[in-house]
A and B are shown apart, each in its own frame.
Chain A
Amino acid sequence: MIAPAAALFLAVGTGPLLYALYASMHAFPSEADAAPEWRGAGNFIDLSRDPQFLQSMGVTGVVTVLAVALQLGLGFVLALALNRVHRGRGVIVSLLLIPSAIAPIVAGIAWWMLFSARTGPVNALLEIAGIPSVEWTVTMPWALIAIVTALVWQWTPFVAVILLGGLTTIPPSVVEAARLDGAGPWRTLRHITLPYLRPFFLVAGLLMIIEMVRLYEVPFYLTQGGPGNETVLSGIYLFKLAFNFRNFGGASAMALLFVIVLTAIASLYVRLVAGKERTV
């Protein structure tokens, strides 16, 4: 029963990962049939000295933290609001989920149009509100903010729905008991709602972190990595290394670093949120 799944994982999951390990320690000359040359830790050392690599890791970190924090925070607020609505919830939720159902490449191109300096509605709306307009895609920090906005747009409803599911697991009796005890809305939130939602925050947060790290289409089509190289996120740089610069060894090394860093972040996050809570 599990054999076919296991076979697939081996072939298309773990296998290639092991190959990436191998590739990360070699250099691949440009002739297609030439054998890879051993470099040991050479690729990793090159990466550590590559200012673009370091910069892309940095900006990815910033975007991930900002985007995930906003997605979780705003998602939570949205979930609470949705929890209060009963009529038409179905329609509302399905409308809200449309951004998550749209391909990231469409989102990237669409938001590029929206953030267009002279011809985009974002600046037009800002002007109506009396706020000076911004050249979004070619100035920092606005390019970053534009990317984060697109990401928040795309995933917050999704997070909200996960958290909404969590809210529906809270037994109404518990809430009722708290109310009878005189607990105000804030205390209920802190001592009942949040603890119940912990595992859901866990799930949503992890899903989002993984998604943010692998980003390619949205930043690429929104800012093309600009201004300069400021928004060349790690997904973009990995792809560039591998296929624009034909540095398979370097790209594999970067891929491995991805996996390591991601695992570390994930375990950190789990410990943070799951904390002292025993597994439910």
Chain B
Amino acid sequence: MRTRGSWGAAVVIAAALAFALFPVYWIVLTAFRPRGEIFSHPVRLLPSGFTLDNLKYVWLGSGTSQPVLPFLGTSLLIAGISTILATSLGVACAYAMGRHRAGGKAFAMWILSQRFLPAIALIVPLFILFRKFSLFDTYTGLILLYTTLHLPLAVWLLLGFVRQLPADLEEAALIDGASYFGAFFRVALPLLRPGIAVTSIFVFLFSWNEFLFAYQLAGDEVATITVYLPRLRSAIAELYGEIAAAALLSVIPGMAFAWVMQRYLVNGLTLGGGKEL
């Protein structure tokens, strides 16, 4: 019975891997396929032809597409800073709430209810708000937005980690004469590393992949990689090779994080998420 179960597991995992990776395979295939082969009929399931042209056009720009690097840079800047801010504010908030019940139940409910707010519901008021405060098409605007959007998630995750942390070590430090902040910085924070790792991965990915707000509330001076992609698909020119090449480049940070993520995610979500709402 053991063996049968293990075989069953193997089959399931193989199927899951095939399903998960086939589209990725297709993106990679398209990225390195010559333009003439991309929409061929009959469909060529296996690699046929190979070219670095798509990558070249996307990296260097061409008569019909802009170079992708500035967009990647913008995304990196915005996602990076949002992650740092959201994680820092989140950990401070979660610590205060977890250790000292700061704000009480009301505050907790308020923050966590923000999780149920689909961001798209806010797009109209935010549009008007951004207009009023000249945040339109600025780094500040998007960073503020992303930080706030992901803060509830950050707090929620970190709260779980904080609650798991036995308070003795901090108490010991306080007894030894450390200040409140000292105990926080030097004792609790290092122990919260897994939580911080998990949180920053989530926030970074969600900010990096965000499209709607990046498109509607910015797009010219401040244009992220997600805004770059649809521009390759206009009425005449459907540059799918270029889209695939750009998509590959944009997915690299995500994949890198997924690798790091898996180690922390399983443990992290166990400790953090499971018991809280």
Report which A residues bind B (CB closer than 8 A): 1-2, 4-6, 8-9, 11-17, 19-20, 23, 77-78, 80-82, 84-85, 90, 92-107, 109-111, 113-114, 116, 118-121, 123-125, 153, 156-157, 160-162, 164-166, 168-169, 185, 199-200, 202-203, 206, 210, 213-214, 216-217, 221, 235, 238-239, 242-243, 248, 251-252, 255-256, 258-259, 262-263, 266, 270, 279-280
Contacts of A252 in B (CB 8 A): 124-125
Known interface pairs A9-B151, A13-B114; A81-B12 also in contact (CB < 8 Å): yes
Give the docked Cα–Cα distance between A77 and B42 (Å): 35
Interface size class of B (residues with CB under 8 A): 35 or more
B123 contacts the other chain (Cβ, under 8 Å)? Answer: yes
Known interface pairs A5-B89, A16-B129, A161-B262; A210-B115 also in contact (CB < 8 Å): yes
Give the docked Cα–Cα distance between A40 and B248 (Å): 49
Give the docked Cα–Cα distance between A93 and B30 (Å): 25
Give the docked Cα–Cα distance between A192 and B107 (Å): 35
Give the docked Cα–Cα distance between A52 and B270 (Å): 42
Residue with the highest number of chain B CB atoms closer than 10 Å, among A6, A85, A101, A102: A101
Contacts of B145 in A (CB 8 A): 12
Closest B residue to A124 by beta carbon equals: B43
Give the docked Cα–Cα distance between A203 and B274 (Å): 7
Give the docked Cα–Cα distance between A145 and B23 (Å): 16
Contacts of A92 in B (CB 8 A): 13, 17
Give the docked Cα–Cα distance between A238 and B125 (Å): 13
Q: Name the one of B6, B26, B254, B261 contacting A102, with C-beta atoms under 8 angstroms.
A: B254
Please state if A1 and B116 are interface contacts (CB–CB under 8 Å): no
Contacts of A210 in B (CB 8 A): 115-116, 118
Closest B residue to A93 by beta carbon equals: B262
Contacts of B39 in A (CB 8 A): 116, 119
B117 contacts the other chain (Cβ, under 8 Å)? Answer: yes
Please state if B89 and A12 are interface contacts (CB–CB under 8 Å): no
Residue with the highest number of chain A CB atoms closer than 10 Å, among B39, B90, B149, B266: B266
Contacts of A221 in B (CB 8 A): 230
Q: How far is the CB of B8 from chain A (nearest CB, A)?
A: 7
Give the docked Cα–Cα distance between A2 and B96 (Å): 7
19 A-B pairs whose Cβ atoms sit less than 8 Å apart in the complex:
A8-B147, A9-B152, A12-B145, A13-B148, A20-B124, A23-B124, A82-B9, A95-B20, A98-B258, A99-B20, A106-B27, A113-B30, A118-B41, A166-B274, A239-B123, A248-B128, A255-B120, A263-B116, A280-B274
Please state if B16 and A78 are interface contacts (CB–CB under 8 Å): yes
B119 contacts the other chain (Cβ, under 8 Å)? Answer: yes
Residue with the highest number of chain B CB atoms closer than 10 Å, among A15, A110, A235: A110
Q: How far is the CB of B276 from chain A (nearest CB, A)?
A: 8
Please state if A17 and B117 are interface contacts (CB–CB under 8 Å): yes
Please state if A5 and B155 are interface contacts (CB–CB under 8 Å): yes
Q: Name the one of A5, A11, A85, A165 contacting B269, with C-beta atoms under 8 angstroms.
A: A165
Please state if A262 and B269 are interface contacts (CB–CB under 8 Å): no
Known interface pairs A9-B151, A77-B12, A252-B125; A111-B23 also in contact (CB < 8 Å): yes
Please state if B26 and A114 are interface contacts (CB–CB under 8 Å): yes
B265 contacts the other chain (Cβ, under 8 Å)? Answer: yes
Please state if B116 and A266 are interface contacts (CB–CB under 8 Å): yes
